[in-house]
Amino acid sequence: MSRVHDALRKAAQENPESSKSAAPPRSARFSTGYEPSESPRSVEAEPSAEIGDIEAYIQNARRVDYHPLSDALLVNPAKPREAPAEEFRTLRTRLNHLQTLQPLHTLVVTSASPAEGKSFTAANLALTQAQLADKRVLLADFDFRRPTVDKTFQIPISPGMTNYLQGTASLGDILMRVNDSNLYLMTAGDAVPNPLELLNLRECQSLIAELRSHFDWVIIDSPPLLFAADGNLLATMCDGTVLVVRIGTTTFDSVTRALQSLCENNVLGIVVNGARRGELYSKYTYYHDYYSYGDDADESKSKKAEEEDEYVEAE
- The domain that holds 125 is classified in CATH as 3.40.50.300
- Does residue 156 lie within any of the structural domains? yes
Q: pLDDT tens digits for the chain (315 residues)?
A: 444 445 445 544 554 444 444 433 333 333 333 333 333 333 333 334 444 488 999 999 999 999 999 888 898 877 767 777 889 999 999 999 999 999 999 999 999 999 999 999 999 999 999 999 999 999 999 999 999 999 999 999 999 999 999 999 999 999 999 999 999 999 999 999 999 999 999 999 999 999 999 999 999 999 999 999 999 999 999 999 999 999 989 999 999 999 999 876 689 999 999 876 655 555 555 444 545 544 444 444 444 444 434 334 444
Is 44 among the domain residues?
Answer: no
Do the domain assignments include residue 254? yes
Q: What is the pTM of this model?
A: 0.74
Strands 183-186 and 176-178 turn out to be antiparallel
Q: Is residue 233 part of a domain?
A: yes
Q: How far apart are CA 150 and CA 68, in angstroms?
A: 9
Predicted pLDDT at 193: 94
- Other CB atoms within 10 A of residue 197 CB: 10
Identify the pLDDT of residue 104.
95
In whole angstroms, how large is the CA radius of gyration of the chain?
A: 28
Query: Which residues, in sequence order, are CB contacts of 271 under 8 Å at separation 6+?
Result: 91, 117, 121, 242, 243, 244, 245
What secondary structure letter does DSSP report for 61?
P
The predicted pLDDT at position 230 comes to 95
Please give the tally of structural domains in the chain: 1
Nearest to 234 by CA among 194, 270, 207: 207
Which residues have C-beta within 8 Å of that of residue 176, sequence separation ≥ 6?
A: 61, 62, 63, 64, 155, 184, 185, 186, 187
DSSP H helices, 15-111, are 16-22, 49-59, 83-101
Assess contact for 159 and 168: CB atoms under 8 A.
yes
pLDDT of residue 93: 96
- Residue 83 has a pLDDT of 73
Question: Can you give the pLDDT at residue 289?
Answer: 53
Instruction: Specify the pLDDT at position 132.
Output: 94
| H or E, element range at 247 | none
- The continuous run of DSSP H or E covering 259 comes out as helix 252-261
Could you tell me if 184 and 140 are in contact, meaning their C-beta atoms sit under 8 angstroms apart?
A: no
Q: Would you give the end-to-end CA distance of the chain in angstroms?
A: 77
H helices within 15-82, ranges in order?
Answer: 16-22, 49-59
CA atoms within 13 A on the CB side of 86: 12
Side-chain half-sphere of 1: how many Cα atoms within 13 Å? 0
Residue 4 lies in a domain: no
In a domain, 20, yes or no: no
Predicted confidence at residue 13, as pLDDT, reads 54
Dihedral angle sign, alpha carbons of residues 289, 295, 298, 303: negative
User: What is the domain range of residue 259?
Assistant: 49-274
Does the residue 181 lie in any domain? yes
Residue 296 lies in a domain: no
